[in-house]
Amino acid sequence: MNTFKCTQCDTVGLTDGFIEDAGEHSRGYARWIEGALERGVFGGAKRMGRPRWQIEAYRCPKCGHLELFASNQV
Ligand SMILES: [Zn+2]
């Protein structure tokens, strides 16, 4: 628990968590990548050389709203 406040219903104290990436070669967590999405020739996102940030997702226990933060570069 923490003192984060839900921006939807003003409840204080959000539940810590993260967004899972269950893809086959994933590290298990989703990341935020700097720069607008560009797709390569095979349709996949171009992400070479871009900074990546781990996404933290805090869930409001009352309304279920997620507050997302990307504060740690990975
Ligand atoms: Zn809420």
pLDDT digits (tens, 9 = 90+) for 31-50: 999 999 999 999 999 988 99
CB–CB of 18/55 below 8 Å? yes
Give residue 68 CA to ligand 1 midpoint distance, Å. 13
Q: Percent of the chain at pLDDT above 70? A: 99
Residue 16 neighbours by CB under 8 Å, 6+ apart: 1, 2, 56, 58
Give residue 31 CA to ligand 1 midpoint distance, Å. 23
pLDDT digits (tens, 9 = 90+) for 17-34: 999 999 998 899 999 999
Instruction: Kindly list the domain boundaries of the chain, sorted by start residue.
Output: 1-34+49-74
Written as six digits, the tokens of 62 are: 């009352």
Give residue 43 CA to ligand 1 midpoint distance, Å. 36
Give residue 1 CA to ligand 1 midpoint distance, Å. 14
At 2 the pLDDT is 87
Residue 36 neighbours by CB under 8 Å, 6+ apart: none
Give residue 16 CA to ligand 1 midpoint distance, Å. 14
